[in-house]
Structure 1
Amino acid sequence: MLHSLAVISTLLGVSSLAAAGSMAFFRNTGSSCPAHYTEWATTPHAPFSTGPLRIPSMRPPPECRSFTSAAVEKALSRISAQITDPDVRQLLINIMPNTLDTAIAWHYPGKKGKPDYPYTFVITGDINAQWTRDSTNQLLPLLPYAETDASLNTLIAGLVNMQAEQIAAYPFANAYKPPARSGLVPGENGWARGDSVHPPFDLRTVFEAKFEIDSLAAFFKLSTAFWRQQQQDADSLLDMGVWRRAVTIAVELLVQLQAPTFDSEQRLTDATVRFVRTANTPTESSFGGGRGNPIRRTGMVRTLFRPSDDSVIFPFLVPANAMLAVELRALADMLDSTGDVTIASRSRRLAEDITRGIYEFGTAEHPKYGQVFAYEVDGYGSRLLMDDANVPSLLALPYLGFVNATDPIYQNTRRMLLSPDNPWYFSNGTSGLLSGIGSPHTGFRKVWPMSVAIQALTSDDQQEIVDAVRMLAASTSGLGLMHESVDIDSANGNSFTRPWFAWCNGVVSELITRVVFEYPGLL
């Protein structure tokens, strides 16, 4: 993975548009800048690559970019120079800096010598809000370059502080609005409140209140990754008081959500979180009056929604629990070093409970593939055998650090997932455009490029990896950027969702970079 690679550049980065109150370019920072990057993303721009795909140049003009890192620019030049395929080279140039170019909606760098910490608000792309999960995955692949780039280091620290502030205020949300002090006009989400959401929230802060345990895991992941790399500067850049409060709230909440639906006398236990919404699709609300379907205690933590923002069927979402177990252990190590031994011990015990629960309740014996991981379970014996493209997913378990890619249960599961025995795996042998995993979030016959990238990131088969990169390069509908999903029955992939999806751009750039480092000459 990219975040395990050595930093390429030795130059310090220089931030542009990073002063207090600065805005992303879609707020029209210059007369030559489009009003919104979606306009730019849906029109091919010259010069085009010289390969058969003629990938356009999709970076906005330098004066319109929301943040610039000299270290990332240097790394991008060096990595792209090692790619001989002109289409893949241009694709990487477009997508590796996409979050920095387009999605840093607000960055306050703080003031040196004062207890004045940096803050960063990162939008997910074409939706004007910050998802905890997306923002972590958007900046985490760029963390290695922060070692030699003070401005990038401050930018990422600002995101840790922003996430901590948001979670300390309301840990049940999946997406947040910018703080009032940013001066940004917040995105509106008219259905966010729902009909019955518990605990209630402030619409000035929360963009959407779907509770997803991977959001908290993503906060832990970014925090601990930043701390491991920047231990010397962490105290000066991170507001540790707010961060500790957010972590304590999150861990205590996760422990509460291990509780079963009914006590030993079959009485309803207290529902820590509920979500009910009137909608024209069932995935936008929750079963059981907002509680979710019944569960028995397993050691795992229940959730109401998947990382796709769709409701779960069975509340123990196995891949999200797997991610939690990994990140809680990393969090415990960090807390030990900062002297927070009580919450560290609680985090470590919770990780052990979750892991034990996954292996005891979260696996199933498949008649064709043998023992496999289930996607969702309830502790009563019900299991859902499928996968969703959104990470955390079962396909991504090695990428998340939960198992080694050679683990026999994972290998059995992988064979099942990458076949029609996974109801959300789609392939069009006629067009050969994309084969991979989709999501109920976008419907049938729509493959997510993210799943193709994860398939390659969890493989050491060079042909499988090359095939994945080629499929991804061919899936952009001539726009040179990654989409959320692609209709594999459409001509040349011209039917897709989301022209500007920064998270997927980051994951695919992570894949291409990994291939350049680990398999020189393959691209």
Structure 2
Amino acid sequence: MTEDSRPLAAALTAFADEHPLPDAPAQQMFRTLLPDALMKATSRQADGTYFVATGDIPAMWLRDATFQVLPYVQLIKDVPDLKPILEGVLRRELAFVQLDPYANAFNQTANAAHWRDDDETNISVSPQVWERKFEIDTLCAPLLLVLRLHTETGDAALFDATFWETFAVILDIFEQEQHHEQSPYFFRRRDTAANDTLPNNGYGTPVAYTGLIWDGFRPSDNRCEYGYHIPANLFAKTVLKGLLPLIPANHQSLAARAQTLVTAIERGIAKYAIKTLPSGDQGLAYEVDGLGRTRFMDDANVPSLLSLPFLGAIAADDPIYLATKTFILSRQNPYYYQGEALAGIGSEHTPPEYVWPIAVAMAGLVAESKTEKA
């Protein structure tokens, strides 16, 4: 913590004191973590933007960064000093998207540090890119953050020329990956687990056109078994739809492109993603390929099927969602685990029978009743 950050830390601690939790140990944890989680993860850059370290790795995942700071957005009115930091995170995300929209994680500086130095992809990897796995949620992350910031502050200055330039880049990639067979992107990692690289010489398993956006890797950073990741597509549809009324008159070509994408995704979801679940009910698949193959499961990492109401992608009481939720919170989901102390969703990314806390927290966030939240 720097001298300059002490007033903000004090303000966050004061906020925690003014909003005590009923349980004393939980309140003490809240009081400690509210400032610490922000102060220890963020660092101001020379250009005024803020880098957000993901935690156990010295790199910034745009998806992780958005979700790390999202809880603080709703505190801006009470703690105004949060605003420049959160806007600085947004600006850093936009800069990284412009640097490489196919990358999922970035270094704080151009230090040429990479998860693997021998990854093969269609361009030379930037020295500021940590890893170049294409994930739809990477490009959705700054869009969600700007929408939440605008909702909280009403600040139209968020939507400056840089934002719309970056939005155009995002639309370019989404449109390109609706036709992945024409995309130059590939990712190959030698001598690794099968789920850490893309098959078919790095291009992924074959897909048919569906109107959906092709995705290389899940939010867990494991590869998509089938190329259309349904939670990520619904995430993309939601943030694009949210931006539509905010696109100014001088950028109506962007609005038209975004609306076309939204319509295509909605049609693709209706035609290819709503399936008969193993439970016998109609619900959402996790992945499809448009060729008839379907993956029924859910993974702890967000965007997930479980998280869709949290993302604003579907109503929590929607019958399709409720059937999907019942399925994924059962043993029929291959990554749902239940033990004496804990039950919840894990991931291919972690060992079997390990529940990931993200999924436990998300189950509480999307719960409709106090009994379910407990």
TM-score, normalising length: structure 2: 0.93
Q: What letter matches 1:77 in structure 2? A: D
Letter of the 1:119 counterpart:
T
SS of 1:397's equivalent? coil
Q: What's the CA shift string for 1:143-163, capped at 9, x where partnerless?
A: 122234443111111111111
Spell out, residue by residue over 1:112-147, the C-alpha distance to the aligned partner (whole angstroms, 9 max, x if none).
Answer: xxxxx6311110112111110011011111012223
Would you say 1:209 and 2:120 are equivalent positions?
Answer: no
Aligned to 1:502: none
**Displacement after TM superposition at 1:361 (Å):** 0.1
Name the SS for the 1:121 alignment partner.
Answer: strand
Residue correspondence of structure 1 range 34-433 to structure 2 within 5 A? 68-79=8-19, 81=20, 83-108=21-46, 118-179=48-109, 186=111, 188-194=113-119, 196-202=120-126, 204-232=127-155, 234-235=156-157, 240-259=160-179, 261=181, 270-336=182-248, 339-428=250-339, 432-433=340-341
Is the 8 Å Cα contact of residues 240 and 262 (structure 2) preserved in structure 1?
Answer: yes
> How far has the Cα of 1:289 moved from its partner?
1.0
Name structure 1 gaps, 5 residues minimum. Answer: 1-14, 20-61, 109-116, 181-185, 262-269, 467-523
Q: CA deviation at 1:16?
A: 5.0
- Give me the whole-angstrom Cα distance separating, in 2, the residues matched to 1:134 and 1:229: 20
- Secondary structure of residue in 1 paired with 2:257: helix
How has the CA–CA distance of structure 1 residues 367 and 163 changed in structure 2, closer, same or farther, with 3 Å as cutoff? closer
Q: Is contact 1:373–1:410 with CA below 8 Å preserved after alignment?
A: yes
Letter in 2 for 1:200: S
Structure 1 counterpart of 2:107, one-letter code: K
SS in structure 2 at match of 1:96: helix
Shift of 1:193: 4.8
Distance 1:294 1:17, change over 3 A: farther
Aligned residues of 2:62 and 2:93 also touching (Cα < 8 A): yes
Q: CA deviation at 1:244?
A: 2.0
The secondary structure found in structure 2 opposite 1:340 is helix
Shift of 1:190: 4.6
Q: Distance in 2 between matches of 1:242 and 1:18?
A: 28
Q: Please identify, of 285-294 and 338-347, the stretch whose mean Cα deviation from structure 2 is larger.
A: 338-347
Residues 68 and 100 in structure 1, CA contact (< 8 A), matched pair in contact too: no
Larger radius of gyration: 1
1:299: how far off?
1.0
What amino acid is the match of 2:173?
A: L
Instruction: Return closer, same or farther for 1:423/1:149 CA change in 2, 3 Å cut-off.
Output: same
Give the superposition deviation at 1:391. 0.4
Q: Cα offset for 1:105? A: 2.7
For 1:272 and 1:400, the matched residues in 2 are separated by: 30
CA distance in 1 between partners of 2:53 and 2:183 (Å): 31
Closer, same or farther: CA 145–367 of 1 in aligned 2, 3 Å = closer
The match for 1:509 is: none
Is the CA contact 1:161–1:239 (under 8 Å) kept in the aligned structure 2? no
> Is 1:437 equivalent to 2:348 in the alignment?
no
Q: Secondary structure at the match of 1:207?
A: strand
Structure 2 Cα separation of the partners of residues 229 and 353 of structure 1: 30
SS of structure 1 residue aligned to 2:22: coil
Q: How does 1:431-510 map to 2 (within 5 A)?
A: 432-466=340-374
Give the whole-Å Cα distance in 1 for the aligned partners of 2:67 and 2:299: 17
Q: Higher helix share goes to which structure?
A: 2
Paired residue type of 1:191: R
Give the distance between the partners of 1:450 and 1:94, measured in 2 at CA.
20
**Counterpart Cα distance in 1 of 2:369 and 2:335:** 23
Can you list the C-alpha shifts for 1:350-395, whole angstroms capped at 9, x where unaligned? Answer: 1121122112101211252410100000001111000000000001
Tell me by how many angstroms 1:441 deviates. Answer: 0.4
Return 5+ residue gaps in structure 2 as ranges.
Answer: none
Match of 1:494 in 2: none
CA distance in 2, matches of 1:106, 1:370: 49
CA distance in 2 between partners of 1:134 and 1:367 (Å): 31
Separation (CA, whole Å) in 2 of partners of 1:71 and 1:341: 41
Percent of paired sites with the same residue = 30
| CA distance, structure 1, for counterparts of residue 275 and residue 293 of structure 2 | 10
Structure-2 change in CA distance of 1:367 and 1:99 (3 Å): closer
Amino acid across the alignment from 1:189: H
1:199 partner letter: I
Contact 1:369 1:412 (8 Å CA) reproduced:
no
Deviations 1:182-234 (A, max 9, x none): xxxx583350550x2123321x21011110001101111112222333344x5
- Aligned mates of 2:81, 2:191 — CA distance in 1: 43
The RMSD of aligned alpha carbons is 2.1
Q: Which has the higher contact order (CA 8 A, sep 6+)?
A: 1
CA–CA distance in 2 between the matches of 1:348 and 1:71? Answer: 41
Amino acid at match of 1:405: A
- Cα gap change, 1:242 to 1:354, in 2 (>3 Å): same
Q: For residues 313 and 293 of structure 1, what CA distance do their matches in structure 2 show?
A: 7
Contact 2:115 2:131 in 1 (8 A): no
